[in-house]
Amino acid sequence: MKDKKFNRFYFLIFLFLFLSFLVTASANAATYYVATNGSDSNPGTEAQPWRTIYYGAEQLYPGDTLLVKQGTYAPRSNTGAFYIPGIQPARSGTQSQPITIKAYPGHSVTIDGTLSNAPAIGSYARNWIIYDGFYIYRGCMYIQEASNVTVQNCEMQYGAAEDTNHINMVRIAVSANTIIRNNKIHGNKNAGSGYNMPAIMMYQ
């Protein structure tokens, strides 16, 4: 009888600690904002939003959401490897707390990759990321060495080139469990004259 009470006591302690962890993790998840009238020195609140999507994305932790308001935004230009996207989080989310980057509901948000020398947006070695609701113009959604990345409700037009022979709108390499759903993808062949130009390209 004593052993049963002892086991129940420790089970209740474990249950309490587990539920406390869940509540704390949920409470720590935050929503941040980006707007064309913002500043990256702001705290990222709706009243004081950040200015660039790439800065905002890099501030996110598991469970966080970044909402981007109406306007046209440029990705960060990259002087390193082509496979590092101009917009991506600095860390991964988790299965229970993915990182979400999405257009503010009802707003039209354009990511213009025209002046970038990197893929416009995506995930290099970042897992459990959700991209939702963007119009990506002359930019590639690039996912490499990542898992559980979701791209949904986006429109992509014309794509981007790694070189004159590789022009894609979604490029997935060495990745797993990628979900590309409910997107409108068009105009890729008007972006150049290369021979390796599928709108969606998958490697390995």
Tens of pLDDT along 151-175? 999 999 988 866 666 778 899 999 9
133: in domain: yes
Residue type, 3: D
The H or E element containing residue 55 is: helix 53-58
The most confident of 15-29, 105-119, 120-134, by mean pLDDT: 120-134
3-state secondary structure of 84: coil
Distance CA 167, CA 164 (A): 7
Position 8 scores a pLDDT of: 65
pTM of the predicted structure, to 2 decimals: 0.84
Instruction: Answer whether 156's CB lies under 8 Å from 169's CB.
Output: yes
Band of pLDDT at residue 201, cut at 50, 70 and 90: confident
10: in domain: no
Share of the chain above pLDDT 90, in %: 62
Q: What residues have CB less than 8 Å from 50, skipping those under 6 apart?
A: 32, 33, 34, 35, 38, 39, 40, 42, 44, 56, 59
Position 77 scores a pLDDT of: 84
Position 2 scores a pLDDT of: 52
161: in domain: yes
Residue-number span of the structural domain to which 154 is assigned:
29-203
Residue with tokens 């948000």: 109
Band of pLDDT at residue 114, cut at 50, 70 and 90: confident
Does the structure show a pLDDT above 70 at 21?
no
Position 25 scores a pLDDT of: 45
8: in domain: no
Please report the sign of the dihedral spanned by the C-alpha atoms of residue 42, residue 70, residue 47, residue 36.
positive
Q: How many domains does the chain have?
A: 1
Does the structure show a pLDDT above 90 at 197?
no
pLDDT digits (tens, 9 = 90+) for 46-79: 999 999 999 999 999 999 999 999 999 999 887 6
